[in-house]
Structures are given as structure tokens and as C-alpha cells.
Structure 1
Amino acid sequence: MQPDVLGLRAEESAAYRALITVPSAGAGEFASLLRVSDDHASLLLSGLERAGLAVRSLGDPDRFVAAPPATTLRDSLRRRREELQRAEAELGVLDEVYRTAALRRGAPGVVDVIQGAAAVREVFGRLQLGARDEVLTFVKAPIAVISAAENVEEDSAVARGVRYRVVFERAMLDEEPDAFERIVAARAAGEEIRIADALPVKLLIVDREHALMPLTQMLPAPGAADGETAGAGALLVREKGLLLALVALFEAEWRRASAVAGTPALGELDARIVSLLMTGLTDEAVAAHLGTSLRTVQRRVRHLMEVTGGRTRMQLGFHVARLGWLD
């Protein structure tokens, strides 16, 4: 049973809370107070005495008096605080050992070659599990090693406060039918997402200390399991000069990419239509992605043009950005 915030078990906490409401209590009175048997009440009182939470009355050793909570529990809280500080220090040491052991393969080098889909998936996951502050990533078609739906390490990192900036290649919207739904969900979880016409490489940069570049040319392995590839691999970069170049590449593509529209100033459907239109998709493609009719998309676009005063799609995009409907 989990202890409460003061480190007491539920039964101990209830017994102590009951005892501090009365001047003193014997086993029989305590049993009535807690609605338990006399024997069980005696056990609880003895337990509180051993824990320093109750003392025997000077006038009657068979009666118990609650010890002052501030005096009794302060030392316990101080010890727990010291234990927590020691645990945090040890965690920092273990984290460094883990990151070093998990990411290095043999002697450290400028670039390590990761061979095999399973090894790439392992490093891809461990890099994100070890992320402390920021992850920068290019998501480029085709998906050969791990899909966005399988990337549970990303969800874990976002949940603990790691900042994600993601650039999707537009072709991903065609390769994975539910890609836009996942983009919306990721954005709602706090990720910053943009969409580019094309990306030069697949890329994952973690805390600007490590970069993983999956190789894009992968051939199906004869007789391999579903999703497995022959020749799958990646480059793991640790050298600072190369990392700076890769970060600069990411920032340049990030500035050129289109932001995904938010929802504060638009209804959900209109926001999604604007998001997809701003990535360059046709009305037909937008309708297909949203599971709605072409007529509905065109009607909503006309409505948005009337609201913003835009006469063309280009003007609509300009006014949408001007009104703050884009990041």
C-alpha cells in the first residue's frame, strides 16, 4: 500500500488523525472511535507508539496521547528531503552513464555507422528517451524503419517537457493516410510542426549533441518480416562541427517551411482546411485528407475569402497569416 504525503500508511494516517482529535484514548475508546475491534485498536496504538506518533499518558499507562505533529513529523520530512536530494544527485550520475553507454558503439568517433533496421530503431528510441531539452527532426518519405504511430518515445519525451520542432515533407501526407490527424494531435500535445515541399535528408537532432541520419536508400530484404529492410542503416553524428552544420540546415528548412494553422480564430474544420491549403495541396487532396466532400472544402474556402477579404488563394494565405491564424 502506498504511503501518504507524510510517509504514513493509510491505516496509520487514519489512526493518528483520530487520536489527535481527543485528549487521550484507551484501546476500547480508540476501537469505538475507529470502529475496529479492541485487539486491532491495541495494535494500532502500539504501532503509533513505535513510530513516535503516540505516547502513554503519565497518569494512566493504558491510555495514549498523540504526539505533536509538527515536532514528530518534521524530522521524518527532513530525512525524506535529504534522501530525495541524494537520489537526484545519483540520478544525474546514472543519466550520464546511461547516455554514454547507450549511444556509443565501440571507440568514440566523429560518425558511427548504425547497421540494420533493428539497431536503427534502438538508437532512434534511445536518443529520444535521453533527450533533456530539445529535439529537431525532419520527417521525410518514405518511411522505412519506424512510422510516426510507432514512435512512442516521442510521446514520452513531449510529456516530460522536451521541446519538439518537426518539419514534415509534404509527400508524407500522401504516404500515410492519417498523417494529418497525427500532426493535429502532436500539435495539440505541444509540438511545433511545419510542412515543407521537400527535405534534403531524414534527420533527428537531440539536444544539439547527437544527430541521427537514417539512410534513405533501402531495399526490401528477401524473406524478411513485415517492415524489415535489407541494407537499412543510419549515421550517428557527435562531432561538434558537423552538428552545427546540421542544426543550421534544420533552421534554414524550418524558416522556409509552412506553419500549421492553429484553431483559436477558426473553427476546427476551417483550421484544418487552411493548414492543408497552406502546404500547397489541391482542394481535392484536402477533401480526401479530411474525409469530406470537395464541395464542402470549396464552400468553406469561399467563406474564408469573404471573411478575410481575400480574392485569391494567395491573398487568403496572406490575410490568414496577417490575422494571426498561423504560428
Structure 2
Amino acid sequence: MFRLDREVPISGHARLMYEYALNHPEWTEDEVRSVFAWGPREFAEAIERLAGLGLLIPSPGTPNGWYSQLPQAAMAAMARNSRQRLESALAAANDAHATLAGTIEAIASMRVEQTGDVSLAERGPELAALLEEVTNSAKSEILSMQPTPAPTATQAKEARERNTVVLRRGVSLRTVYQLSSASLPHMAHHLRLLTAAGMRVRTLPTLPVRMIIVDEALAVVSAGAPQDGRAAVVLRSTAAVGILLQIFQHTWDHALDLLPQQLEPAPAEDGPPVREGPEQEFTVRQLEVLKLMAGGVTDLGISRKLGLSVRTVRRTISELMERCGAQSRFQVGFSAARLGWIDDHLAH
């Protein structure tokens, strides 16, 4: 008789259904509902939950139309799906990058003195004043793309205060962040507060340029690479802003919503400062253990493959559990696959 480990993060009707399905592969709906005295709703909810986790997968060749998959196989499948999703997002980002590069080149060739619709704002007080002005004048919607580098904790707090005021005025905010930036602890805290206030946020592994579009009438675009902030192009041309709107919408449509795990609470703002920088990256050992865990390898199997003691493997797993706030080894693998941590590091 198969009994599900306590660490597998499902409970209630879904757990009962899963254990029964593993022990009775040819189960039928009538049979399950009779055994557990369920109505149609309880049965449907259990099926939906298990299918969402990949523990039940459609199988037309079986009497009930489903195949019960072991948790380790479900984790491996989720990791594969995460890789496919990452590759699709990267392709979309590269497409947007190429389109935007051509657009910026065309815009840069416009003659400012003839139209007055294109100007440059130098990095520093001039650009800061411009951004504050256009933000305060927004009436309906502000759209933005925010590639790396991410703002510091202090910069994020200042931006959050400005954006909160804008949201309270009823202005809609939509922003696409680069995934690596959104994954930083202080940025997760920042985005958690802003989404709670009504801002909509999505992420992509790469973004082509930093830009802001206000009320579909004005756009401010970084004049160089995302890391090169010497100046910004300010556009008031209806045609030029219209092209950037299409690029933003294309990027937004291919970006991914933030998962709840990416918005976990961080320390209060008056608490100790959150560390930033390279120390937040995975160590080589953590990444190797994480990949093997997501593939369903046991602690003993990991120790043999990596030449580590079981004690060292378990200590590393504990570090990973703490990092993603998981309560069990199983949850670490699922969180890593869903958040794209494994594939994000492989892509680099």
C-alpha cells in the first residue's frame, strides 16, 4: 500500500485522491466518490489540484483518462517545462530587442530642430526632474521596462513612495522587470508592497532597454545599453510613441506574472539593511545539488554523484530551504523549477 510522504505539499481531498490513484490505477470517478463519500465538486477540485502539480497527467489509454505520476517524475517534468518557458521568453525578448534597436536608431536620426518632438535629457538632476514631472502629470497610465542593473534598496524605496502616490491618484502602472533584478531580496520586498498597492508587475529573463511611457503621449528611453545611463531620449512624437507602445505590449504579453514565492515578506524597512550583490548568487555546490534535487535524486544519490558526504548534502539542502522559505526538501525542488532558478543559471 503506497503512502504519500508528509513532505509532499498537498493535503485534504487531493492527498486522498492521489494515494488512492497510485494504489488503484484503474480507478473510476464513481468508485472514488463512493469510497470517500464525495460529491462532484470535491472530486473535480482534487483532480484539478493534482493535474496542476503534474501528479496526474492526461492518458486517453487508461479507463479513467489519467496516469498517476510519482512526485520525483513530476518535479523533473516541471523543470523541463520551466526550461521551455525560459527559451520561449528569451526568444520573445530577443525579437523585441532587435525591433527596438531598429526603432531607436530610426528615432535618433530624426531632426530635433524641425519637429521639436525629440530631445535629449542628460543623466543626473535634469533627467530626475523630468521623470518626476512626467510622473506627476500622468492622468491614466504609466508603462515601463526596467532591465538591470536593479535600483539599490534606497532608490527602490524612493521610487516606491513616488509610485504609491501615483497609484492613489487612480493612475494605472504596469512594469516589466528583468528576472534577475526582481529576484533580489530587497526588490522582492519592493514589488510586494507595490503589487499590494495595485501595480501590475511581470518579468522576463532579458530586457532590451529601459523606458517609460506616460499616457500614450510621451516616452523616455535610455540612449544606450541598459548599464549605460549617460542620457535619455525624450519622445513626444505620436508615431514614435506608438511604435514603443507596440513594443511594450509585445514584451508584456510574453512576460510572466510574479509567483507568490517571489513576493515573500522581507524585514521591515527600519530593520537591518538587506544585502545586495554577488553573495545572493548560488554557490556552485548549491546549484549542483539543486539540479539533482529537481531531477528527483535522493540525498544519498547526490552525495555519490558529487563526491560529498551525506551530512554535507543535507546541510546544503537546509541552506536552499532557508533561501526559498520551503518547509521540506520536496518544496525546494518545486520552487526552484517554478521560479526558473535552475534554468536561469544554466542560461548564463
Q: TM-score range by the shorter chain?
A: 0.3 to 0.5
Higher relative contact order (CA 8 A, sep 6+): 2
**TM-score (structure 1 length as normaliser):** 0.46
Task: Please tell me whether Structure 1 or Structure 2 has the larger radius of gyration of its CA atoms.
Answer: 1
